Amino acid sequence: MSEQPTSVPLGPQKASAHALAVVMRDYLSYGESGMEDLRTAVNARRRKPVISAFCGELHQILTNQAPIPTEVINREFRRRAKEEAAAGEGASDEPVVYDDQEAYEALADLWDYLGLNPDGEPEDSDATLKSAIRERRSQLLWVDGDPVEALKAWMSWRSLALFLGGSVLCTASWALYERIDIGFVRGLLLLLTIIGFVGASIGGGALWLRRVRYVNPDAFLPKKPEPKEERR
């Protein structure tokens, strides 16, 4: 979508450019940082409704289904220039003014920058999602495609033996506890059941912690507060 349509309907701007105006105000008027934030918002798993509406509007404009919102774009440039001038950040130059052709080309470049397909969705959204799922799944069982090496990397045979032994002891002792009526023996079996349960819990918990730290070495470590970056 990089060529100007042969005929573009002109006339009063409709409410269909509302999402574009919001996106220009909240993202595009901030320059490169705003463009990056917009691309992140477009590629988010759960996009904001205004972002989805913006993608739809952009597609309609570039396919000649809606008028080019030249005035909406220029109005935002003027508004931003006034804000910067009031804050003492702007230069004395006149704000950028687009004609219809320049506005269309700018929107086409924006479409290419965002990497949208004809449906207004990121071109590689499916591939990115599948890749993320595949990468996350690969961390569960193997390293470099070798499940045996991955198992050796995080498995603790002592913890595994404690978990299995405790589980067997707990299950067997409880089964006998329910069948035997002798008081002294029942008390001993109940004690063995508790010991088995505690042993299985400790062994299973140790395995789980080793597995979590294997997937994410920084798990359970205190996180340092990160300084917030403010856009201009």
Instruction: Decide: 65 and 34 in contact? Cβ < 8 Å.
Output: no
Contact 154, 211 (CB under 8 A): yes
pTM of the model: 0.46
- Check if the beta carbon of residue 166 is closer than 8 Å to that of residue 200: yes
Distance between first and last Cα of the chain: 30
The domain ranges of the chain are 15-123, 155-215
What's the CA angle centered on 29, arms 24 and 32, to 5 degrees?
Answer: 115
* Per-residue pLDDT tens digits of the chain, which is 232 residues long: 444 444 344 333 343 468 888 888 888 877 788 888 888 888 877 778 888 888 888 888 888 888 888 888 888 888 888 887 777 765 556 667 888 888 888 888 888 888 877 666 766 545 454 444 444 544 444 444 556 666 777 788 899 999 999 999 999 999 999 888 888 888 999 999 999 999 999 999 998 888 877 766 666 656 555 555 555 4
Q: What is the per-residue pLDDT across 157-167, written as a single tens digit (0 to 9) for each?
A: 899 999 999 99
User: Residue 214 corresponds to which tokens in the numbers above?
Assistant: 């294997």
Name residue 3's amino acid: E
pLDDT tens for residues 57-80? Answer: 888 888 888 888 888 888 888 888
> Closest by alpha carbon to 57, among 14, 20, 6?
20
Instruction: Please report which helix (H) or strand (E) contains residue 26, including its range.
Output: helix 18-26
